[in-house]
Structures are given as structure tokens and as C-alpha cells.
């Protein structure tokens, strides 16, 4: 299951140090992500549930990649392939090569999960990691600075195990940190909620599930674990007791902000995590120079990027891999998913855009729907009730009213008249419409694809274009107009003379005339 390791790791004895990018050399990471998450009551593995649009597991994976110089092993089990795919999609290139996927076929506990990563680290050999950062995959609020502090304390204390803890008013559900009665109050063990005595349950200090462990100690300790507890599992937390018993030092860092230690086991905790992460994201973009008129109603996924001096109005939603340029203005109730938007673009209210590209100084909305594969070139305009799909609208072109433009390539400086429709679908297949530069399409034009309109051509309003139009030609295809002199006055006169029958009589006389 594992990918080949490409990153060199330092020797066991080398002291902690960091490389140019601040990654700690000799530090490997294990992310535990194999559990189903029974308490979520979901068909989907807990690790795949999104927090701010990003699968939960990615928070730990990204954090690991940022701090550690050595590989990041991710232990997967439930829906392993989907978890692996989510990681592959998000982490590619050289960073992706540093992630090693390890499978835990049966979920026998967190200790067993970490043990599965042993083969990928070359334990006992030259170059094996000197210490491990172990992360629960369900703790998405954990911050990098906290992990770095944990590592610092681990080094200074020369500890065997260093763990992160938090003081909660009510720590129920979590493992409790049991400290020695001695003056130094050192940590002696962790007891899981289900194995705790009444007195232990009253402890307020909980185990966050983030550990730094000495490289030589970790796997020898894991080999000694026994599933002698209420859940019949191999608990990672038991390595604390083993280290203490072997005379090793246990260090602990207590979180200043206990929220950071939130473990997501239930939908309620998922909702809590979502709230916190959403605010972190808003604060990050506010600090980076983005204006939000109503931050609380502005929804920005973790993976979105926004340029400075962009203004977001209330109820804007930015999802997925969306990238917004500088000095843009996005009005209310607009949702962009996986879109790229250039600088100084204005998007008016109520636009829904997916997997599309909008170039600099273009203008969208109100009420525009861009379905996947749309490119709106520089300074182009797409307005009121226009739907586009797999279509390009050239530089400076305009489609301002009530149109459907699908499977179309539209040149520069084109006017798309109100009510234009590309008839791209014959009931079974899709065809393309090509419109050259400078074309003028009158209102209510239908283009029966496949069809090409040559550059500079004019299409008269109300035309159904069924054949290619040569460059600079006029195409007109509509029923000739007939004007009947006096018809309207005659009808009115009849209506006054014989109310009711008038319309009938007039209709009969007209139909006779036509025959």
C-alpha cells in the first residue's frame, strides 16, 4: 500500500534542528485516520467529512507536512481508497511524495494503528526518524504553533513522550490525564473515559490526542500493548504508562485555548469545528486585506484564495479551489465553486458559478449561472439571467440578457442579443457553435449547432440560424411581415356594434380572406 519514500531522514542520534523552510529534521509524522467514526452515524468515514469544505483528515496531513522534514504516514482503514483519493487530490507533487499511505485492515485501536506505520520508517535502521509526531485525524482545530511548542518542550525536557492536554469544565468522552500526587505533578498515565473510575472521570484535564514520542521508544512500546480494557483495543495512550514505568520522562503542554483540542466524534462536534475553522479563515483574509461587510455571513472554504482590496458583500460563498484576484467586488448571494477570477472583476448579486474562469475586469450578474467549463475573457459582460456551459465569451463581448450559451466559442467584441439560444443538443448528442470576432447577434437568435458565424457578420433579430453564415454577411430568417391597413379600427367598430359576436365575425372574415 505504501508509496516509495523520497525524502531522506536524519539519523536517530542527531539532535533536533530545522531546515531552511522551518521543517524539523528527523521528525516523522503519523496521522491516525482508519476509524469509521461510529458516533457520527454516517455511511461516510469520519475522515472524509468536510470541515470548511476540506476533508477532515487533510488538516492533520497538512499540519504534518508543514512541521516535519521526514515523511508523513497516514494510517487508513475505513473507506481507505476514498481517503487516499482525497489526500491525493489535495496534496500533489513533491509534497504528495512525502505522504505515505499505510493500511490498517482491522481497526484494533489507536496503538495498533500507529504500529502499522512501522515498515515505512525503516525502524532500527540508519536514517530512521529520531522522533515521531502522532496526530489524531479528528482534531482539525490544532494549530501549527502549538505543535511547534510541543516539540520544543519535548526537546528541552528530553522527554520520552510529550503530550498535549486541555482543561475542560466537562471532559467526558475524552481520555483523562492522571498526574502523580507528588509536587512535580508529572503525568503518569492516561485513562480512557470508558475505563475510568468515578474519581478519574472527575478529572478536568483531557488528552488531546497529539503526541511527540522518542524514536527509539515508540515501536518497542507499541509492541508491548495489550487490549486489556473496556473496548478490547490496543490503546496508543498506554505508551504513557509504559514510558513512566521505564523511568522515561513524560512532558505535557496544556493548551491555552482548550477549543483547539476539540476531537470530532459526533455531528455536534463537527458543527463546532466548522464554526471555529470558518472564523479562522475569515480572520486570515481580513488580516490579508480583504473587506467583508458581514464576515459572519461570508463563507470561505479552507482552500480558497482571495486577493487584497477585494470586497465581499453579505452572503457570498466561496468554495473549493476558487481563487479571486485583487480589487474585485462580489455582491450578495453569489456562490463560486472551483472558479478562477481575475483582478477588478465585478460580480453582482445572485450568481452561481462552477469550475469556470472569469478574466480581469469582466462583469457578471445579476443572476448569472456559469456551469463547468466557461471562460469569460477580459472586460466581457454576462448579465441578467444568462446561463453558460462549456463556452468561451471573448474579450469585451457581451451577453447581457436572458440567454443560453452552451458548447460555444464566441470571439472578441461580440454582441449577443437578448434571448439568444445556442441549440446545442439534438436529443442525443451535443454540437458546437462558433461565433467570430465582431459578430452582432440580434435579439431572439437561435443557433442550431453545429454552426459557424463568420467574423463581422450580422444576424437579424428573430433569426433561426441553421446554416453557416459567411464573414461580414447579414443573415435573416423570419416570416415576412404583413400590414393590413385599417384592420384594427374595423375590429374595434365591430366590437362596439355587436358586442360578443364581433370578435367571432372578424375572425371568420379574416380567415376567409386568408383562404
Considering only residues 301 to 360 of the shown chain, the ones binding ligand UD1 according to CB under 6 A are none
Q: Which H/E stretch holds residue 273? A: helix 267-287
Within 225-244, which residues bind ligand UD1 (CB under 6 A)? 235-237
Number of residues lying near Mg ion (CB under 5 A): 3
* 3-class DSSP assignment, residue 322: coil
Compare residues 270 and 469 and give the one whose CB is closer to Mg ion.
Answer: 270
Give me the least distance between CB of 1 and ligand UD1, in Å please: 14
Binding mask 206-225 for ligand UD1 (x = CB under 6 A): xxxx----------------
Among ligand UD1, Mg ion, none, what binds residue 190 when CB lies within 5 to 8 Å by partner kind?
ligand UD1
Q: 333 with 348: CB under 8 angstroms?
A: no
Q: Which residues pair with 134 in a beta bridge?
A: 30, 211
Q: What are the phi and psi torsion angles at 299 (to 5°)?
A: -110, 115
Distance between CA atoms of 114 and 210, rounded to whole angstroms? Answer: 12
Nearer of residues 203 and 416 to ligand UD1, judged by Cβ: 203
Choose the stretch contacting ligand UD1; rule: CB under 6 A; options: 142-150, 152-160, 204-212, 271-279: 204-212
Q: Which is nearer to Mg ion, 74 or 393 (CB)?
A: 74
For residue 401, indicate whether it is catalytic: yes
3-state secondary structure 455-481: CCCEECCCCEECCCECCCCEECCCCCC
Residues of span 69-128 touching ligand UD1 by CB under 6 A:
75, 77, 104, 107-110, 112-113
Q: Which of 138, 214, 233, 407 is the binder for Mg ion (CB under 5 A)? A: 138
- For residue 44, state whether it binds ligand UD1 (rule: CB under 6 A): no
Burial of 86 (0-12, 13-18, 19+ CB in 10 A): buried
Cell numbers 510529550: residue: 162
Which of 53, 109 has the CB closer to ligand UD1? 109
The beta strand positions in 23-105, using DSSP E, are: 27-33, 50-51, 54-55, 72-76, 99-103
User: Which residue in 35, 248, 365, 413 binds ligand UD1 (CB under 6 A)?
Assistant: 35
Which residues on adjacent β-strands are paired with residue 352?
A: 335, 369
SS3 349: coil
Instruction: From 211, 249, 215, select the one nearest 122 (Cα to Cα).
Output: 215
136 binds ligand UD1 (CB under 6 A): yes
Contact status, residue 48 vs residue 57, Cβ threshold 8 Å: yes
User: Cα 452–456–461 angle (5° rounding)?
Assistant: 75
Here the cell at position 333 is 448571494
Q: Which does 75 bind (CB under 5 to 8 A by kind): ligand UD1, Mg ion, none?
A: ligand UD1
Out of 77, 258, 263, 436, the only residue in the binding site for Mg ion (CB under 5 A) is 263
Q: Does 404 bind ligand UD1 (CB under 6 A)?
A: no
- So which residues are the catalytic ones? 401
Binding-site ranges for ligand UD1 (CB under 6 A): 32-35, 75, 77, 104, 107-110, 112-113, 136-139, 174-175, 190, 192, 206-209, 235-237, 263, 265
Q: Residues in the site for Mg ion, rule: CB under 5 A? A: 138, 263, 265
Amino acid at each position: 500500500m505504501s508509496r516509495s519514500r523520497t525524502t531522506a531522514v536524519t539519523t536517530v542520534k542527531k539532535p533536533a534542528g530545522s531546515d531552511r523552510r522551518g521543517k524539523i529534521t528527523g521528525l516523522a509524522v503519523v496521522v491516525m485516520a482508519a476509524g469509521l467514526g461510529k458516533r457520527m452515524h454516517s455511511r461516510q468515514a469520519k475522515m472524509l467529512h468536510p470541515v470548511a469544505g476540506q476533508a477532515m483528515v487533510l488538516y492533520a496531513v497538512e499540519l504534518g507536512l508543514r512541521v516535519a522534514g521526514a515523511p508523513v504516514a497516514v494510517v487508513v482503514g475505513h473507506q481507505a481508497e476514498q481517503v487516499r483519493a482525497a489526500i491525493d487530490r489535495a496534496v500533489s507533487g513533491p509534497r504528495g511524495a512525502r505522504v505515505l499511505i499505510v493500511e490498517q485492515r482491522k481497526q484494533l485501536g489507536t496503538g495498533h494503528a500507529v504500529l502499522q506505520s512501522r515498515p515505512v520508517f525503516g525502524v532500527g535502521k540508519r536514517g530512521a526518524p529520531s522522533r515521531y509526531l502522532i496526530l489524531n485525524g479528528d482534531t482539525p482545530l490544532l494549530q501549527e504553533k502549538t505543535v511547534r511548542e510541543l516539540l520544543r518542550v519535548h526537546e528541552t525536557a528530553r522527554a520520552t513522550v510529550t503530550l498535549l492536554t486541555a482543561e475542560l469544565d466537562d471532559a467526558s468522552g475524552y481520555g483523562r490525564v492522571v498526574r502523580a500526587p507528588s509536587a512535580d505533578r508529572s503525568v503518569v498515565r492516561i485513562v480512557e473515559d470508558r475505563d475510568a473510575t468515578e474519581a478519574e472521570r472527575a478529572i478536568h484535564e483531557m488528552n488531546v490526542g497529539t503526541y511527540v514520542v522518542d524514536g527509539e521508544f515508540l515501536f518497542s512500546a507499541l509492541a508491548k500493548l495489550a487490549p486489556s480494557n473496556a473496548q478490547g483495543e490496543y490503546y496508543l495512550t498506554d505508551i504513557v504508562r509504559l514510558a513512566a514505568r521505564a523511568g522515561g520522562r513524560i512532558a505535557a503542554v496544556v493548551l491555552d485555548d482548550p477549543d483547539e483540542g476539540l476531537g470530532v466524534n459526533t455531528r455536534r462536534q463537527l458543527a463546532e469545528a466548522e464554526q471555529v475553522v470558518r472564523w479562522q479563515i475569515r480572520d486570515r483574509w481580513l488580516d490579508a486585506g480583504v473587506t467583508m461587510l458581514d464576515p459572519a455571513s461570508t463563507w470561505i472554504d479552507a482552500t480558497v484564495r482571495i486577493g487584497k482590496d477585494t470586497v465581499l458583500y453579505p452572503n457570498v460563498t466561496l468554495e473549493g479551489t476558487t481563487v479571486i484576484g485583487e480589487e474585485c467586488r462580489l455582491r450578495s448571494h453569489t456562490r463560486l465553486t472551483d472558479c478562477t477570477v481575475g483582478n477588478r472583476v465585478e460580480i453582482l448579486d445572485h450568481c452561481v458559478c462552477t469550475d469556470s474562469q472569469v478574466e480581469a475586469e469582466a462583469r457578471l450578474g445579476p443572476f448569472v449561472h456559469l456551469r463547468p467549463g466557461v471562460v469569460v475573457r477580459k472586460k466581457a459582460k454576462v448579465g441578467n439571467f444568462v446561463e453558460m456551459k462549456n463556452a468561451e465569451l471573448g474579450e469585451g463581448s457581451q451577453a447581457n440578457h436572458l440567454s443560453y450559451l452552451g458548447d460555444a466559442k464566441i470571439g472578441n467584441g461580440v454582441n449577443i442579443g437578448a434571448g439568444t439560444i445556442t441549440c446545442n443538443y439534438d436529443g442525443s448528442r451535443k454540437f458546437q457553435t462558433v461565433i467570430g470576432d465582431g459578430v452582432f447577434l440580434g435579439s431572439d437568435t437561435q443557433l442550431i449547432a453545429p454552426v459557424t458565424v463568420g467574423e463581422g457578420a450580422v444576424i437579424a433579430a428573430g433569426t433561426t440560424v441553421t446554416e453557416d453564415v459567411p464573414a461580414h454577411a447579414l443573415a435573416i430568417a423570419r416570416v415576412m411581415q404583413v400590414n393590413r391597413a385599417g384592420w384594427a379600427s374595423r375590429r374595434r367598430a365591430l366590437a362596439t356594434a355587436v358586442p360578443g359576436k364581433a370578435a367571432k365575425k372578424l375572425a371568420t372574415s379574416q380567415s376567409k380572406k386568408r383562404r
